[in-house]
Amino acid sequence: MRRTTIPRASLAALLMFGTFATAGSLPASASDSPSTTEAPASAGLLSAMQRDLGLSETQAVARIAAEKAATAAEPKARRAAGASYGGSWFDAPSGKLTVGVTRDASPTTLHAVRATGATVRTVTHSARQLAATQARLEKLSAPAGVSSWHADPRAGSVVVSVVTGQRDDNDVERFLARAHEAGPVTVEETSSAPTTFAAGTVGGDPYYTGNVRCSIGFSVYGGFVTAGHCGQAGAGVSGWDRSYIGNFQGSSFPDNDYAWVNVGSGWWTVPVVLGWGTVSDQLVRGSAVAPVGASICRSGSTTHWHCGTVQAHNETVNYSQGSVYQMAKTSVCAEPGDSGGSFISGDQAQGVTSGGWGNCGTGGQTWFQPVNEILSRYGLTLHTA
């Protein structure tokens, strides 16, 4: 891409190879990029957290710091709990990681878990037991009225989401009957079935493959990661100006929803996530997994910055095209064209937008494909600041 003066929508395309197509200015230079000690997140991310989570700026900064500590403590707490581990989540009111342990946990185990800084809560089933129940559900054929399912340590069961009004459907009833036989299962209702967030060709800050518009996820060395449903392996990719960028080097959908695209022909990558209308901020510094309950923000070429919380990990999503496994569910909204865009918690990359239900006018839920799985699958290295 030529380094010339271009309109705002074009500028965003330059940065989308840093993370996603949501930029409003050129990549930060060494002179205008804040150091890692100046701010925990970009102004755009903090602003979106204030808007979507009802926080003050001080509260948003404090929450990011608390979530960073919880994220660092989680793997230590998991190891300390051992076979008694029942899952973990971030408790926003206390600002601490909560770790579920089964009733047979020894005093030594409880002490070791608390030593990590986590709060302990007794749960009925271990994470291993819930995972086994979920694995049994994966073998069942889910009807369209079943939206998704995931293991929820707070509920002590595998939670199955059913679309409102479909509970009495014969196929749904049969699925739920078999699900209850598989192990501890709780049923909840959801407003609508999930769909992917790709879109037909429209204006904005896109990348295109054929007549589909999607958003960039995160820079990796040699390219970027995005959603698999946006294009098949070998498909050509063009930028905002329809100039050639590269090709899908790998893609998987359904079962997974991930892909990666090589970058060339004058395009480049940068380890940056930009908020719309804000100054760029070197923000992507790793990919530590944020726990359930942590705040998370998403950016895409349609709806820009929006925030919410992580609601579940390892959830199976039942799209019309087929099930996608090991997804993360959030309370963040999204709309067509946002597919593939970045999910980030603080300065840690989390994943790429897959699909959901609702919109950013009335709200909804969105799932993302965890970024670490994509990196591992294709042997990629995240481009970090």
Distance of alpha carbon 160 from alpha carbon 316, whole angstroms: 9
- What is the predicted pLDDT for the residue at 95? 96
Distance of alpha carbon 46 from alpha carbon 385, whole angstroms: 19
| Other beta carbons less than 10 A from residue 325's beta carbon | 15
Backbone angles phi, psi at 326, to 5 degrees: 60, 40
- What is the predicted pLDDT for the residue at 14? 24
The one-letter amino acid code at 170 reads N
**What are the distances in angstroms from CA 85 to CA 104, 301, 343?**
10, 39, 27
Residue 228 binned pLDDT confidence (cut-offs 50, 70, 90): very high
Q: Does the pLDDT value for residue 282 go beyond 70?
A: no
- What is the predicted pLDDT for the residue at 273? 67
- What is the predicted pLDDT for the residue at 77? 97
Burial class from Cβ neighbours inside 10 Å (0-12, 13-18, 19+) for residue 210 reads middle
- What is the predicted pLDDT for the residue at 195? 81
Partners of 148 in the β-ladder: 161, 317
- What is the predicted pLDDT for the residue at 265? 77
Rounding to the nearest 10 degrees, give the CA dihedral for residues 59, 62, 64, 65: 180
- What is the predicted pLDDT for the residue at 38? 54
Residue 22 binned pLDDT confidence (cut-offs 50, 70, 90): very low
Residues that are catalytic: 229, 257, 339
Between the two ends of the chain, the Cα-to-Cα distance in Å is: 22
Distance of alpha carbon 75 from alpha carbon 67, whole angstroms: 14
Count of positions (residues) in the chain: 385
The one-letter amino acid code at 31 reads S
Mean pLDDT of all residues in 248-252:
98
| Strand residues in 125-269 grouped as ranges (E) | 146-152, 157-163, 185-190, 195-196, 199-200, 207-209, 212-214, 218-220, 223-226, 236-238, 244-252, 258-262
Mean pLDDT of all residues in 355-383:
96
What's the mean per-residue pLDDT of the chain?
84
Domains in the chain, ordered, with CATH? 1-69+125-385 (2.40.10.120), 70-123 (3.30.300)
Confirm if 58 and 46 have CB atoms less than 8 A apart.
no
Q: Does the pLDDT value for residue 149 go beyond 90?
A: yes
Percent of the chain clearing pLDDT 90 (strictly above): 68
> How does pLDDT run across 205-225, given as a tens digit for each residue?
578 998 899 998 998 999 999
Q: Angle, nearest 10°, between helix axes 43-53 and 57-81?
A: 90
Residue 4 binned pLDDT confidence (cut-offs 50, 70, 90): very low
- What is the predicted pLDDT for the residue at 197? 59
What are the residues whose beta carbons fall under 8 Å from the beta carbon of 184, sequence distance 6 or more? 124, 125, 129, 130, 133, 156, 157, 158
Mean pLDDT of all residues in 326-340:
95
Mean pLDDT of all residues in 251-260:
97
Confirm if 296 and 290 have CB atoms less than 8 A apart.
yes
Distance of alpha carbon 239 from alpha carbon 250, whole angstroms: 18
Least confident of 41-45, 114-118, 299-303: 41-45
Distance of alpha carbon 323 from alpha carbon 254, whole angstroms: 6
Considering only CA atoms, which of 273, 274, 272, 229 is closest in space to residue 252? 229
Distance of alpha carbon 221 from alpha carbon 102, whole angstroms: 42
Q: Does the pLDDT value for residue 34 go beyond 90?
A: no
Residue whose pair of structure tokens reads 């009495």 in the numeric block: 168
Residue 385 binned pLDDT confidence (cut-offs 50, 70, 90): confident
